[in-house]
Amino acid sequence: MKSRFGKIPGRVRALVTALLVPALPLLAADATTGLIPLDSGDRAVAQYQPSAAPMKPYLKELFSPSGVEVTVDSPPDHFHHHGLMFAVGADAEDFWTEQPLGTLGREWPRAGETRVGTDRVAQILDWVDHQGHALVVEQREVRVQSAIRRGPNVLTWRTTLAPAGTNGVKLWGRHFFGLGLRFPADMDGKAKFILPAGTPGGRIVRSDETLRAAEWCAATGAIGGHPVTLAMWDHPQNSRRVVWFTMTQPFSYLSATLNLETQPLDLKAGQKLPLCFGLAVFDGITDAEQIAQIREQWLRALQATTPNKQTSKL
């Protein structure tokens, strides 16, 4: 498929301009009252769940430009799969699984620290263990970066993790922990994952669950008869680069993992781990060339606000 952006400089300029335009000021919001819509002009892009429902805030709904929802929240087989969510393990606590309730960690929004705008939401979250002790402080921002005519919806997800106490914290994970997205049932067994040309085959963990290192990963398929493509990438200056987890059986899932299963990370007091991820949702089946172009435009626009390569002091 020929890239729509490669031959039309005007649209490229429009996308870069949309990425660079400052967002409206954030306003305080009550994290317990309903979903937060994230829009770009007159286009609905996403819906954010700001409260710990039941154990963490997350992006409940994510849409293609024409309004096709590409996420599912809390399906019966894995009710702890919430649209697009971020979770890892910290010390002895599992912040992903959510079961059994009352014995696992919770990402708790700090009172008075949720801010919203029409295009973004920012929170401070205290990751507390099942006894209520804070282990990690997370600063999070989810922002709509662009939604141009006949172009994709583009989001940025920023997360910064830091120890909550003076003893530091050990971050760990299973092979799918990270920034994960569960696709609707229409994609189960049918999603096709594409990566940059030349990406190594990776490691098969079980069934078709595969881990591969690459600059980006995308899933294509049809939802409600409408073809869509969802692409994800991490920022090249993240101190922990992504290993992509993909699966299609018995359901389709994509996760940007930090490889904490094999390489746990000890964060000392005063250190932080800044992470930045991008997502693009297209109508139609998109090729690798166009995904790479959108990612490059996103990177150029974020050059002034890139995270540090190393963990650093708060």
Kindly compute the dihedral angle of the four CA atoms of residues 71, 73, 74, 78, in this order, to the nearest 10 degrees: 10
Domains of the chain: 9-313 (2.70.98)
pLDDT recorded at residue 228: 98
pLDDT recorded at residue 13: 35
Kindly compute the dihedral angle of the four CA atoms of residues 288, 145, 122, 303, in this order, to the nearest 10 degrees: 80
pLDDT recorded at residue 115: 95
SS3 of residue 16 by DSSP:
helix
pLDDT recorded at residue 188: 95
Task: Give Cα separations from 92 to 131, 164, 243, 267 (angstroms).
Answer: 12, 15, 23, 14
pLDDT recorded at residue 304: 52
pLDDT in tens, the chain (314 residues): 333 323 333 343 344 334 333 444 566 666 666 899 999 877 899 999 999 988 999 999 999 999 999 999 998 989 889 999 999 999 999 999 987 867 789 999 999 999 999 999 999 999 999 999 999 999 999 999 875 556 899 999 999 999 998 999 999 999 999 999 999 999 999 999 999 999 988 888 988 999 999 999 999 999 999 999 999 999 999 999 999 999 999 999 999 999 999 999 999 999 999 999 999 999 999 999 999 999 998 998 887 555 555 554 44
In whole angstroms, what is the distance from residue 185 CA to residue 187 CA?
Answer: 5
